[in-house]
Structure 1
Amino acid sequence: MPSLDEDEHQRSAADLLTSGVGRHDRCLIDVPPKSELLAEDDGWADDWPEDANAENTRLIESNGVDEFGSISPAVPSQEEKIPYPKSVFYIVVTEACERFSYYGMKAILTFYLKFRLLFSEDEATVIYHAWSMLCYFTPIMGSLIADLALGRYRTILYLSVVYLFGNLTLSLSAFTPIAPTLPRQVGTAMFGLVLIAIGTGGIKPCVSAFGGDQFVLPQQARELAAFFSIFYFSINLGSLLSTVISPLLREHTTCFNDQCYFAAFGFPAILMGVALMVFLSGTPLYKKVPASGTILTTTASCIWLGASGKLKALTGKVPSRMHWLDHARGRHGDAIVEDVRVFTSILVLYLPLPLFWALYNQQGSRWVFQAAKMDGKVGAITIQPDQMQVINPLLIMLLVPLMEKYGYDLLAKAGWLRKPLQRVVAGGVIAACAFAVAAILQAKMEYNDSMGLERINVLWQVPQYVLITLGEVFFSVSGLQFSFTEAPVSMRSVVQAAWLLTTAVGDLMVVWVAHSAKLSSQTYEFTLFSCLMLLDMIIFAVLAHFYSPYRPVPHAGTAQPSSESDDETLALHGPRLSTPFQPLDHDSVVLPDDDPTSYALDDEETSVYDSTRPPPVRPQYEALNGA
């Protein structure tokens, strides 16, 4: 069996002969049968340059000629055992350490802004969410750098160094000998936060996709699914541990007769340093895919040409087209334009989604400040306000496997929430209920405070955390599932970028409310968000009702429904991910753009269109990239 590098070279050489101009097009070259090409006495071959004959002979012998006379790339058979890539161990450990660093720093950030840098609650909330918004804008930059210039490996490496410097800078802002005055502390902290946002956002779209690059597809589709399960688990584990440890370091260590934020931020910095060293250690084992351009720029160009063409058509400068994107067909061809049309349809559905993240991300800001006004004593222990956030990753690790194994089946049998978009609506409604509960709790706290009564115990926050986590399971997991199953293969990176932007816009909403709304009570703010979320889900439900599912043109070899009833089952249930764990960090997992088998399929004994459960994700590879 050839090595991976040799195999990739064979694929590339054959693709030059068999691929058309467009990404999705493939043309067949009229090549005589193999026996004729290899015959020594054929006169027509004598006129070829000697090196051309040698190269064609090498390609034919190593790849073969298909029934149409085209050179077919040699692909390892399903029976050949491909070794599991050892390099993914380094990637998983890197991700676990990086997520520990990120969530450990994030867990105590609002307290640092308020109690050490002396910002008000509203100002600390604005800074926290503005920084979070930047963390979700920079992945666009990271994706472009990786796809256009550096490749994923070097992008992760260089931006991890920036990330580490950001962690160290933020930690030093709390070190009095380095930053003795408040203005210097504030300036150093803000600079560190910007570096962290660039680093974490830049590597966000690259790490998991880089892990996917290590596998040979489709032969290792199931191994890839197992990798993502472990990858998701490492995210949850890093978040869980950091949310417990960082508040303890903040509270129970002292520096210069004060709470030691230097140690609390320094420990995540150490973990980021460990992540960088582990990543470098795996360098000799990595399979590095070079930068090869990005669909992001092509999509932007297509949308720009379509929009500008539509404006010209309205003014009579050019003939009108049936669809505004049709104006881009001359530049980009039919295949890309059709894919972008699907993407814009998904983008319309995304418009109401940012509000969910506006609610969800307040776990680290408004809910922490709410917990700070409550009694943390539970028996002999004291729960720190910023430790309450640990409920979310803990419940995620419990709920996601349970819902995958039992919950969705039970709901489907009862006729409830069969479609992914229905589950998205349910998740939004549950999030609205979480903020309604938070508003009721806040009203009770304010009443007790005005009457001089004792403080409410912090455990009363548990119901709202349970609700917001359950909402995340329905909203985020189903939303990602819908996005990746609906989007054409070529559009997956663009869809991921749009998904991350919904989180950034959600943070922007919180910034605006905290800075401009000036509500007299936190109870009113929680109530406002709850009502807006309900209205938002009504709008989303209307958009989802009129959404037309993406149905690629069937090609040979593509799984099709076996009957009308099976087709109806697919429409009702929608596809479902088959990995046992989903990411806590809804943005951290990005699949390679050309991955033909994004998730492992169910056991072969299980029918694709089993009427008792949603079918697994089936690739649209053949329909889009050619058989």
Structure 2
Amino acid sequence: MPEKENNEKRAKYKVEVCGYPLSIFFIVINEFCERFSYYGMKAVLVLYFRYFLKWDDDLATSIYHTFVALCYLTPILGAIVADSWLGKFKTIIYLSIVYTIGQLIMAVSTISDITGTNSDGTPNDITVHVILSMLGLSLIALGTGGIKPCVAAFGGDQFQDHQEKQRSTFFSIFYLSINAGSLLSTIITPTLRATECGSSHQQCYPLAFGVPAALMLVALIVFIAGSGMYDKPDPQGNIILQVCKCIGFALKNRFKHRSSEFSKREHWMDWASEKYDKLLIAQIKMLVKVLFLYIPLPMFWALFDQQGSRWTLQATTMDGNFGAITIQPDQMQTVNPILILVMVPVMDNVVYPIIKKCHLNFTPLRRMTVGMFLAALAFIAAALLQIQIDKTMPIFPSSSEGQVKFLNLRDTPVSVKVNDVEAFHTEPFKATADYLTYNTDNISVALNMDNPQTFPLQKGQRKTFLITPNFQKSYMIDDLTSKPDQGKNEIRFVNGLATKVTVSKGDFHQDIGAAGVSNSTIVSQGKSTFTITSERLNCTYSKDFGFGSSYTFLISSKSSNCQETIVPVEDIAPNSVHMAWLIPQYFILTTGEVVFSVTGLEFSYSQAPSNMKSVLQAGWLFTVAVGNIIVLIVAEAGAVSEQWAEYVLFACLLMLVCVIFAIMGYFYIYVDPVEIEAKFLSGEDDEKDKNKEKDGWNMESIELNNDEKKTKV
């Protein structure tokens, strides 16, 4: 075949650098850019759903995990296409084009101006943005999942038989590029998102999604640039399809002979022996044993992948001021890759050797059980932290209540009597400390024992009652009934002077009449400075803001000094629980990931038949997809109203699954696939088949018990 001849020529004249094929450098750079693109986009995705598309926490979480699930379902499709039809090279090219188009559509979907914007900067027609987002995410899921099983294997195809050492080093470099791309992207894209862009000064999602789209385009160009140097093996036929056909035939044949005396066989897979080779059947038996152990694994991933959804949303209610730097909520996800780079060598070189010296039989399945337990423990830590956060949150009115507080714009004390209840006093240019709660649609207010007047108080709303110098002109203004989005701060100014006042800061410029109120504006964490001018006042006022607060600034006549003239009234207190308290739960979960995930992949590789390692890889990725489906089911069910209780629910479910997995692992018997395959290839199985009754041979005779194999796995 022409393609085969071309590959042989390339192998003969392949350019090498330090003993490595030059082509693999294109593959490594491609992988770095692709992982940067994927993790960068994914880092800001749930906040895009929550604050740009204005979905609630549950819907944002559900769509996020649906996307992640699709990303781990499509590898099976990519493997089938590559092995049965297009080959790895063409599959990577075509699906990377799909991937790039998806990223570009996703970036375009975040541009508010494509449908026009409202006064607050939000899109006029959110439906267009939702449709574009879902289309973009669908293409990204197909692209990133489809190339996932191909790129690493294609890199391995570039080495010759005498380059075994270089091939091993390549895979280490390859996975290093994955972690490097992930780490850098989860630092950079949240920073880009937090910047202001456009005339509306909204979060810069177009830039946060545009940079990953550009990196994916670079990944595609780099991969194509190395085309002339690659070895491109022809499709060899997909083992996944062969396995499925063999299993299907065995089940069909067994069902067909269910009432026959001939229906007794040692293993249900033996019913495929009429059509399929005995070696393939023996390999599938080993495969099925491992896949059976995979059944409890999705519960681990259900907890693990909430780092990008629930834990990111949890971070938005916390204080991200670390002194020299300010951490964005979605940047906390960088803790995971950083800890992975630290924990993997620590576990391999310190923890495991110590356990071995203590003569503890810490088998792979026991390690995975410990990993599950640690993940559950991390969610207990998340629940305890959520309880502390909830204690600092303001008590907002229920649907049957209304809340009101009083702000005195006068320079004298005022007595306030509400609904004929005992009067209380408000000091000059000050507000009542707390909101008062009422379950009526109206309140009757009397000032300084004058005749009461009735004011509307909608249920479920918060109001500030402005006590103006002229009681007849007193009125109520709306307050927030939730924390400001994304840890931002919402502020407004109330003019307590008898003359017009102008307040300005950058593009914010507003004239406020006597006893008037400005529009609300959003300011970020840190120091903000405002200029206030009037007939008798011309000064600047500065204040350091935290995260998630709301203030009303009263411009009083107390002094000509601006810092004394401006009276800050705290409507919603800033976040007080520091984001550093997230680190313990990230540390516990990442330790669990290292013990569970790395060990699980090694275990699967050691227990898989030589030609079915890709099948187990597909099965492993499938457990990740199912785990994300579990999360979206729980989120959509909405059975748990309190977030801390949902964390506890997930922890308890994983604890239960952990016990089940421990029992399954206890009864698992480790095998040596090479030994089993060698027996079949040498023909020993035929001889044993002939003397089966005499020798009592079965699969168990060539399986190794846990104690015999514990040092090999």
Provide the residue aligned with 1:530 in structure 2.
651
Give the match's secondary structure for 1:279: helix
Task: Label 1:404 to 1:89 Cα distance change in 2 as closer, same or farther (>3 A).
Answer: same
Provide the residue aligned with 1:321 in structure 2.
265
Matched, 1:115 2:54: no
Unpaired runs of at least 5, structure 1 = 11-74, 559-565, 576-627
CA distance in 2, matches of 1:571, 1:322: 24
2:320–2:329 CA contact under 8 A, matched in 1: yes
Provide the residue aligned with 1:586 in structure 2.
none
- Counterpart of 1:232 (choices 161, 175, 181) is 175
What's the CA shift for 1:460? 0.4
What's the CA shift for 1:322? 2.2
* Structure 1 or 2: more helix by fraction: 1
CA distance in 2, matches of 1:367, 1:195: 26
Provide the residue aligned with 2:113 in structure 1.
177
What's the CA shift for 1:216? 1.7
1:356–1:506 CA contact under 8 A, matched in 2: yes
Matched, 1:361 2:305: yes
- Counterpart of 1:241 (choices 174, 184, 194) is 184
CA distance in 2, matches of 1:6, 1:154: 18
Task: Label 1:87 to 1:120 Cα distance change in 2 as closer, same or farther (>3 A).
Answer: same
1:249–1:263 CA contact under 8 A, matched in 2: yes
Matched, 1:464 2:400: no
Matched, 1:155 2:293: no
Matched, 1:492 2:613: yes
- Counterpart of 2:82 (choices 146, 150, 160) is 146
State the one-letter code of the partner of 2:190. Answer: P
Provide the residue aligned with 1:86 in structure 2.
22
Task: Label 1:339 to 1:82 Cα distance change in 2 as closer, same or farther (>3 A).
Answer: farther
2:92–2:147 CA contact under 8 A, matched in 1: yes
Moved more, 461-470 or 394-403: 394-403
CA distance in 1, matches of 2:102, 2:323: 39
What's the CA shift for 1:516? 0.8
CA distance in 2, matches of 1:320, 1:437: 52
Matched, 1:439 2:375: no
What's the CA shift for 1:143? 0.4
User: Following superposition of structure 1 onto structure 2, how do residues 447-596 of structure 1 map, counting pairs within 5 Å?
Assistant: 447-450=391-394, 455-552=576-673, 553=675, 555=678, 571-575=709-713
CA distance in 2, matches of 1:568, 1:474: 19
Task: Label 1:178 to 1:7 Cα distance change in 2 as closer, same or farther (>3 A).
Answer: closer
Task: Label 1:101 to 1:9 Cα distance change in 2 as closer, same or farther (>3 A).
Answer: closer
Provide the residue aligned with 1:203 in structure 2.
147
Task: Label 1:570 to 1:7 Cα distance change in 2 as closer, same or farther (>3 A).
Answer: farther
CA distance in 2, matches of 1:459, 1:263: 27
CA distance in 2, matches of 1:109, 1:488: 39
Q: Deviations over 1:19-72 (max 9, x none)?
A: xxxxxxxxxxxxxxxxxxxxxxxxxxxxxxxxxxxxxxxxxxxxxxxxxxxxxx
CA distance in 1, matches of 2:49, 2:8: 53
Give the match's secondary structure for 1:381: coil
State the one-letter code of the partner of 2:656. Answer: L
Provide the residue aligned with 2:100 in structure 1.
164
2:27–2:223 CA contact under 8 A, matched in 1: yes
CA distance in 1, matches of 2:219, 2:606: 32
CA distance in 1, matches of 2:599, 2:610: 18
Give the match's secondary structure for 2:577: coil
State the one-letter code of the partner of 2:22. Answer: K
Q: Deviations over 1:393-448 (max 9, x none)?
A: 01111111222233221221123462111110111111111000000000111122
User: Following superposition of structure 1 onto structure 2, how do residues 277-288 of structure 1 map, counting pairs within 5 Å?
Assistant: 277-288=221-232
What's the CA shift for 1:368? 0.3
Provide the residue aligned with 1:223 in structure 2.
166
CA distance in 2, matches of 1:109, 1:212: 33
1:449–1:455 CA contact under 8 A, matched in 2: no
Give the match's secondary structure for 2:641: coil
1:125–1:511 CA contact under 8 A, matched in 2: yes
Q: Deviations over 1:84-141 (max 9, x none)?
A: 2111100000000000000000000000001000110000000000011011110011
2:293–2:664 CA contact under 8 A, matched in 1: yes
CA distance in 2, matches of 1:573, 1:253: 57
2:7–2:231 CA contact under 8 A, matched in 1: no
CA distance in 2, matches of 1:415, 1:431: 26
- Counterpart of 1:421 (choices 362, 365, 388) is 365
CA distance in 1, matches of 2:230, 2:373: 44
Residue identity over aligned pairs, in percent, reads 44
Provide the residue aligned with 2:63 in structure 1.
127
2:4–2:234 CA contact under 8 A, matched in 1: no
State the one-letter code of the partner of 1:572. Answer: K
State the one-letter code of the partner of 2:272. Answer: A
Task: Label 1:449 to 1:574 Cα distance change in 2 as closer, same or farther (>3 A).
Answer: farther
CA distance in 2, matches of 1:92, 1:146: 20
Superposition TM-score, scaled by structure 2 size: 0.67
CA RMSD of aligned residues (A): 2.5
2:669–2:706 CA contact under 8 A, matched in 1: no
CA distance in 2, matches of 1:399, 1:342: 31
CA distance in 2, matches of 1:246, 1:179: 24
Matched, 1:346 2:290: yes
What's the CA shift for 1:82? 10
Q: Deviations over 1:225-273 (max 9, x none)?
A: 1001100110000000000000000001413421110111000000001
Task: Label 1:253 to 1:307 Cα distance change in 2 as closer, same or farther (>3 A).
Answer: same
State the one-letter code of the partner of 2:265. Answer: R
- Counterpart of 1:214 (choices 145, 158, 169) is 158
Give the match's secondary structure for 1:220: helix
Task: Label 1:446 to 1:331 Cα distance change in 2 as closer, same or farther (>3 A).
Answer: same
1:253–1:263 CA contact under 8 A, matched in 2: no
1:122–1:514 CA contact under 8 A, matched in 2: yes
What's the CA shift for 1:508? 0.5
State the one-letter code of the partner of 1:244. Answer: I
* Structure 1 or 2: more strand by fraction: 2
2:670–2:705 CA contact under 8 A, matched in 1: no
Q: State the number of aligned residues.
A: 496
Provide the residue aligned with 1:625 in structure 2.
none
CA distance in 1, matches of 2:609, 2:141: 30
Q: Deviations over 1:137-186 (max 9, x none)?
A: 10011001000110000000000000000000000001123344210011
Give the match's secondary structure for 2:612: helix
What's the CA shift for 1:375? 1.1
Q: Deviations over 1:559-584 (max 9, x none)?
A: xxxxxxx9987623343xxxxxxxxx
Moved more, 267-276 or 245-254: 245-254
Give the match's secondary structure for 1:439: helix
